[in-house]
Amino acid sequence: MTLRKITLQLLASVLFFSVFTFMLACSGGDSGSDDNSSSQIPSNMVLETVIVGSSTQNPGGDGSGVVNFQVKADHAKQYKLLVDNQTLESSTGNFSYTFKNSGTYKVFASAYNGNQSASVSKDIAVTVNTGEMQLVWSDEFNYTGKPDTSKWTYNIGNGTDGWGNNELEYYTDREDNAYVDNGTLKINLKKESYEGYAYTSARLLTKGKFSFKYGKVVFRAKLPSGKGTWPALWMLGDKIDTVSWPACGEIDVMEHVGNQQNTIFSTLHYPGHSGASGVSQTTTLPTASSEFHVYTAEWTSSSIKFSIDGTVYHTFSNSSATPFNDKFFIIMNVAMGGNFGGAVDPDFSAASMEVDYVRVYQ
C-alpha cells in the first residue's frame, strides 16, 4: 500500500470518528427527549469478516479480493462501514466489498440508534490476484565459469541404487560437467571412467538457497539426444529430508529420454503415484534437441499447468490432499540409463543440455 494511500485512509478515519464524537456530544445534551429507545447507545458490537476463499493455506483468500462483513450491535438501527476509503451504509449490517490490491487494511464499523452510536475497527490482510506476476528469482547465465554458487549447489555421486532409478552416471561438481559460457549453462554427460562409474554428469539444485510456493517456473533449454540420455528440469518439496519421497512431492516440468526422441513428459509424483504410477502427460516436440524451447509449469492451489512455448498440454488438479501446497526447490540434471532412461547406445561419447535461463514468477 503506498504512503499516499495510507495517509488518505488515516485522514478519512480521523474525519469519520470526529463526526462520531460530535454526534455523541450533541446527543448527550438532548435531555428533553422522551424516546427512551432512541437514547440507548448501541452495545455489544461485533464486526465479523469473511475473506472469500480464505483457508489455512491461503489466509488472504482466493485472490478475488472479495470480503463479506457483518456488523452486529444491540439497539442499532443503522450501520456504516469505512473500508479502503469508501463509506458503505446498511440497515441490516451486511456488507460486501471487493479490494483491488493486496494489502493489510483497517476497517471501521459504526452502529447507530438515532443520534447515538458506537464504533469498532479491525485489521484484515487480503490477497488480490491481478493476473500480473512479478519476476522473483532467475539465473540468466550471462556470466562465464561455474554455475553461480549463490543460487546453485550440487548432488555428488550416484546416490542410493542409482538415485533410486538404477542410473549409471556419477554426478560431479567439475567444470567438465557443468559450465557457463556464451550465455548458456551446459550440463555435460560424458562417457568416462570416474569413481568406479562409466559416465559422469551434473545435477544442480537450489535446495537451501531458493524455494517457492505457487507461481510460475520457466526454463528455456535445448535437450541432448542419444539412446540412454535422460535430461530433466524438475522440482522437489522442501520437506524431503523430514517426510522423504514421495511424500514431499515431485513436479517434473520436463523429462525426455533419447530412447523416445522428441517425446516430452511432465509428471507429478506423490503418495500412491511414485515411479511409473506418476500422473503424467506427453507431447511431441520434433525439434527438442535441435532448438531451444520454453518449458513452463504454472502452479496454484487449484492446478498445475504444463506448457511448451506457451501451449498448455497437461493440467493437473491440485488440492489440499496433495503435497503440492508447500515450498519446492529447483533441480536440473542429465542422467544416463536407468529405469526410465533405458538401454544405452554403446557408441555414446558425450551429450549436453543447454539452458538459456531459469525464471520464477509470483
| Model pLDDT for residues 235-293, shown as the tens digit of each residue | 999 999 999 999 999 999 999 999 999 999 999 999 999 999 999 999 999 999 999 99
pLDDT at position 273, please? 97
Q: Which of 48, 132, 192, 255 is catalytic?
A: 255
- Phi, psi at 152, each rounded to 5°: -125, 145
The Cα 109–Cα 345 span in angstroms is 73
Q: Which of 250, 291, 298, 354 is catalytic?
A: 250
The Cα 87–Cα 104 span in angstroms is 18
Count of C-beta atoms within a 10 Å radius of residue 217: 22
The Cα 133–Cα 216 span in angstroms is 8
> DSSP string of 229-279?
EEEEEEEEETTHHHH-TTTT-EEEEEE--GGGTTEEEEEEE-TT--GGGSE
pLDDT band of residue 298 (cuts 50, 70, 90) is very high
- Check whether 18 has a pLDDT greater than 80: no
- 203-205 and 328-336 strand pairing: antiparallel
- Check whether 80 has a pLDDT greater than 70: yes
pLDDT band of residue 178 (cuts 50, 70, 90) is very high
Whether 358 and 229 have beta carbons less than 8 Å apart is answered as no
132 flagged as catalytic:
no
Q: What percent of the chain has pLDDT over 90?
A: 83
89 flagged as catalytic:
no
DSSP code, position 163:
I
Q: Which three cell numbers stand for residue 21?
A: 464524537
